[in-house]
Amino acid sequence: MKSINMFRKSGRATSEFRAWLLIWLAFAAPALACGQAAEQPFTLELRANKPIGVAGSQVFVWVKMTNVSDHAVDCTEAEMDGTLTSYNYDVRYEDGKSADLVDKSLPYSSPGHTGKQWDKCSLGPGKSREIELVVSFRYNLSKPGKYMVQISRRSSLDANGLRTGDWVKSNAITVTVLPANDPPTTQQ
């Protein structure tokens, strides 16, 4: 294959360069298109009503799922022991290390949250649904400091109803946990 400098030196630089470029694009374009991820069918937006909490209290966040496709998408929620398992949670300390999981080994008991429950849901095009997630059921957020919270969810279901496809990620938010003896003021 000729280099660009060789094309510049010859009198046919422009026409030969264009020909090689068109040939390269004809072969490369399909390969490049296969490497691109498909358009995600929904978005996830995370927010916290109270971005400041007190150590030992529960930490809640809200997730808004919006269908950005032209067809209905599944928004079914599965809950087990107080945690919505339809989402993958990423909770980190401010230094970037993963926050500790809550120990749910026996004899763990979560009053009112036993077994597995399903909330079947279908979200039409352009529609949104907002639900509350209790992050502290899954992660130990009793240590004062700042925590980064982000969630993700698989983009589709397979024929058996199992989540598949690419992960759709939410925005990341910061939640501050204050020491128990230092509750937030009204300005916070």
**Cα separations in angstroms, 26 against 29, 74, 164:** 6, 38, 32
Please provide the CATH number assigned to the domain covering 42-178: 2.60.40.2970
Q: Residue 139 CB: number of other CB atoms within 10 A?
A: 21
Sole residue written with tokens 């030196």? 9
Domain residue limits, the chain: 4-35, 42-178
Listed residue (48, 136, 130) closest to 89, CA to CA = 136
pLDDT tens-place string over residues 111-163: 544 455 677 889 999 999 999 888 888 899 889 999 999 999 988 766 666 66
What whole-number distance in Å separates Cα of residue 103 and Cα of residue 145? 20
pLDDT tens-place string over residues 40-54: 999 999 999 888 888
What is the value of pTM for the model shown?
0.69
